Amino acid sequence: MSDNFPGDQPPSAPPPGQQWNPNQQGQPNPQGSQQNPYGQQQPQYGQQPGPYQQGQPTGQHPSQPTPYPHGAIPGQPQPGQPQPGQAGYGQPGGAQQPGEKPKKKRLGLILGISIPVALVLILGIIAAIAVPAWMKQNSIDEAVQTYNDQTAAWESTFTEDKLVGIESAFDGINPDSVASGSRAENPNGSDYQAPMEQCSQLDALTQLRSDLGDGAAPEQPSVEGAEGNPEYDAAVADYNSKSDRFAASGSLLSTLDSNVDRLKTLCAMQAEYASILDEHSVALAAVGERRSQLKNGDEYEVQVDDGTWTITCTSSSGCWKSDTSESRQKNHEAWVAAWVDHANASADFWSNNCPSEDVQADCDVWAEYYTERAKREQKIADALLVSPKQDLENHEQSQYSMNNAIDDFNDWNDKNSPSSSSTENPLYTLADEWNQLTGEIVEARDAVLA
């Protein structure tokens, strides 16, 4: 009899088709039943877990949880944990065991990565095509809209109603008549009217310039590669058809800027001289009245020491009546106002006003001429104070002193008058410049309205 306990006997080999269970000697398990390596049957799903059969004591109170998960047996690998021979079981990083075949990538993982990548690539290709096209169209739309807005603003600024009446600002202002002294020669003439009031007409040009503002002309639409777009081509064609007018509008603005102030200066200058001519004209009329007191053929008597003298007017334009001191004083004052004051005013004008530096030498000549003329005109005025009696006592004919002074003046004037020499009245230069400046404004205006 052996000393070995029954459990110490070596297990006998299981019959063919059966698995050996070291815990149940001689008790083969039916083929296909679930076993663990220790011969204990795995509990079926839903049965009470644990290493012992139901009803056997566990050493635990029923209310205490089992120390192992469902179906777990102490010392056995747990479900979901790495098994011997698998990656992660006792090996760093789950290294592949020698002789083990490489595992295939899962198809779902491949599709999960490749499909989004493909979508991104497709969307990128679409964006690469669509975004530049959209941006180009957007640039075209912006350029066309900008041009249309600029054109509308320009057309509402440079209107025909504003520009067509430019000439009215200097209508009636005739510098030529001022230079020729026509007001003085023809006091009742209508070739020059209210010069100071006419200069105020130029304020209309100043207002027009203010209304035009900066008057920015539209710029040509320019988008690279936009040719062929209908809206873009139409805008470019419209610009080309109006480009000359756009340029002319800029020329009009610059012309107004440079010419209007100069026109005002010239107008004020000629207006001042015109006022001198107007005063001269009025004074000449008074002289005419005094000089025509005696008509041609009229007689009057003058008492002298040796008797009575009879004076007969032999001038077709009339004669001065100087039989009283009062009459002689009025004759004197009339001549001073008509000729002496006029000469002094003209001398001051040419000394202080000259149309341009180019004709300053001519202005100096005219200033010197009128300064000397005022002195000679004064001699004639003083001769009108001489009484006929004094004149007759010293001379054989009446009013010899005045006639002598006039003869002297005429001799001097014939030799020294600028109008009789090569020195032209600088006011003609003013008139030429005036006509040039106004002509430039009208020409620029016509180009805008073309």
**pLDDT band per the 50, 70, 90 thresholds, residue 274:** confident
- Residues 259 and 350: their CA atoms lie apart, in Å, by 23
Q: Where are the beta strands (DSSP E) in 195-324?
A: 299-304, 307-312
Residue 143 has pLDDT above 90, yes or no: no
Q: What is the mean pLDDT of residues 137-151?
A: 86
Alpha helices in 9-93 (DSSP H): none
**pLDDT band per the 50, 70, 90 thresholds, residue 73:** low
Provide the pLDDT for residue 24.
Answer: 47
308 DSSP β-pair partners? 303
**pLDDT band per the 50, 70, 90 thresholds, residue 118:** low
Provide the pLDDT for residue 319.
Answer: 87
Q: State pTM to two decimals.
A: 0.62
> Which whole-number Å values give the CA distances from 372 to 27, 206, 270, 340, 364, in the listed order?
164, 41, 23, 10, 13
**pLDDT band per the 50, 70, 90 thresholds, residue 425:** confident
| Lowest-confidence segment of 77-91, 160-174, 270-284, 404-418 by average pLDDT | 77-91
**pLDDT band per the 50, 70, 90 thresholds, residue 124:** low
Provide the pLDDT for residue 304.
Answer: 72
- Residues 430 and 195: their CA atoms lie apart, in Å, by 15
Q: What is the mean pLDDT of the chain?
A: 75
Q: What is the mean pLDDT of residues 349-371?
A: 93
**Which are the contacts of 363, defined by CB distance < 8 A and separation ≥ 6?**
350, 351, 353, 354, 355, 426
Structure tokens at 148: 């249309």
Structure tokens at 205: 């040009």
